[in-house]
Structure 1
């Protein structure tokens, strides 16, 4: 039987008082939803990007739901999940190297995680043909992908319901109830099956986007 184990409307600063920001970002709530924007110039490259972690360590089998609204592009939106130190410790353990939002620290550092990039409007080819990508780390393993149904960013963009379902080694991804991809990890090809861990929002400069109604359900 499924059970909601975490809910956060993401509608005020108080809602993210215990969240952990890696890198620098401008976080505001102008319309009752969390708006994320880079604080450093995009000319800084990877240093301008950031990750905002929910500090809760979740079990292995979960459904993660949130709402997303892209306001300005280019850029990229990503969700980390099942994130844990490679030795099994918390991603916030003091024995791990400091992370500052630069991508390599997350896919080839000292943590394991899945991450799904679901709004990719950064490179010229990404802007011509849009895909949602699932990668598994440690390592930079692109394990599956599917077409991205979300339209380009706009100040008048609607809200989109995003869902990740992780049950043992199987990961299924949905946008607006539409299944985008499914990946069944064999626990060998790309390393051991990932169990529980933290979730985090990652965004690439100079994108501006809003998020609300984060919910995690234990399956």
Structure 2
């Protein structure tokens, strides 16, 4: 289900090229955010031996509508680790994700899949655990509850074989969600709105990394879809 220029409208663009570009972003957990080559580089600050405490999420401050396409450029710099994109993230009762009445989130995965927020998230470049390194997949999960709803083969090679940035594309339109890398569709899932709870509407998007991965990001773009 490729993007169609006739039914999309760009509503957000961020080059992710300097500190000014992300001055309003919100970091949950501890991380080093730098721009050594004019692109955003993210790296954990805490020792990976601290487990989930060493992971983090970096949220874009904007609220986006339910039907969107998100594209960004990604390059893995160091393994092992794992990357995610959260989307349609909001409080379970419809609150803004940053509502002060919601529980504090500091990076551990449970805060995001079994706390007081709903979200969808795609995990890609999954190289953290031995089973992920032995068999590369991209996973789509729906929360509350961390339900694994869809998988597809991960086309991105290991760091030593990567060649520049990869174009990531996530689209959520109605009940349909697709994820592609460099134009190659990785998966397509249709949410029935019952098995894993009601369809999620709009909300925030955010990048998550698992230590000790280093990743670089650029050209975050969001489109509204009819």
- TM-score past 0.5 threshold: yes
How many equivalent residue pairs? 219
1:61 aligns with 2:67: yes
Deviations 1:56-85 (A, max 9, x none): 000000000000000100000100000010
How far 1:158 sits from its partner (Å)? 1.4
Higher strand content, 1 or 2 = 1
Distance, in Å, in 1 between the alignment partners of 2:169 and 2:116 is 26
- 2:93 paired residue number: 87
Deviations 1:184-204 (A, max 9, x none): 001000000001000000000
Q: Helix, strand or coil: the match of 2:52? A: helix
Deviations 1:84-133 (A, max 9, x none): 10000111001100000000000000000000001100110110110000
1:29 aligns with 2:41: no
How far 1:169 sits from its partner (Å)? 1.5
How far 1:157 sits from its partner (Å)? 4.1
Q: Helix, strand or coil: the match of 2:10? A: strand
- 1:167 paired residue number: 173
Check conservation: 1:70, 1:157, Cα contact below 8 A.
no
Check conservation: 1:72, 1:155, Cα contact below 8 A.
no
Of 70, 80, 88 in structure 2, the residue corresponding to residue 74 of structure 1 is 80
Alignment of 1:65-214 (within 5 A): 65-154=71-160, 157-214=163-220
Deviations 1:117-157 (A, max 9, x none): 01100110110110000000000100000000000124964
Q: Which runs of 5+ in 2 are unaligned?
A: 1-6
Of 12, 28, 31 in structure 1, the residue corresponding to residue 18 of structure 2 is 12
Q: TM-score, normalised by structure 1?
A: 0.98
Q: TM-score, normalised by structure 2?
A: 0.95
Distance, in Å, in 2 between the alignment partners of 1:30 and 1:154 is 20
Distance, in Å, in 2 between the alignment partners of 1:156 and 1:2 is 30
1:3 aligns with 2:2: no
Structural RMSD (CA) = 1.0
Q: Helix, strand or coil: the match of 1:126? A: helix
Moved over 2 A (4+): 154-157
How far 1:5 sits from its partner (Å)? 0.2
Distance, in Å, in 2 between the alignment partners of 1:167 and 1:20 is 26
Q: Helix, strand or coil: the match of 2:53? A: helix
